[in-house]
Structure 1
Amino acid sequence: MSRYARRMAHLSARIFGEYTREKTYTATRIINEFKSMPKYKDPEIINYYPKHPEASLLLVRLREHGLFRDYHADFKEEFAAQRAARGKGRKKPDLTTKE
């Protein structure tokens, strides 16, 4: 490559916003990193985790139909039932009497 051709290639690269120096492995990797889509806009990264609210609502509905066993919810219900049987817990206000 002649000196003129090198200078024209350099000038062309500068005009069109391309990389002007010799490309090493590191420089190529950095260039490709900046060319790629930002991580915060990448749909694969944004939508990585499942939709937790929908999944938990689905599990609650399955539990209501008896198709899923949630041991923690069973424990909480049993504990609340035992407290109610002992007469503990919040008293419900009597709305029938007037003061």
Structure 2
Amino acid sequence: RPPGHDDCDVALRRLADALHNGFKREWEINDLNEANTLYRAALELLPVEHPDRASSLHDIAQCLADRSRQKSTATDLDEVVAAEQEALRLLELGNPG
């Protein structure tokens, strides 16, 4: 779907999910990196109050956690914590995402 389409974030997340799941089967780091890029692109399309924002942050955190297990970088782990904290903050504010 073209950028700006109402469901573009959903399409990006579905493709990212497929790549992330592919990584879990094949351990191809390029799939994981592409999934991370797509998850972030989907998140950028969502306004702060969007109900799917918390789950999108969680998707990014899970992708980064998997990548940190492969590459063991402190930066990825710091981003995991930050993304999960932001997701929790949104949930505490009543955002169901």
TM-score normalised according to structure 2 size: 0.26
- Structure number with larger C-alpha Rg: 1
TM-score normalised according to structure 1 size: 0.25
More helix by share: 2
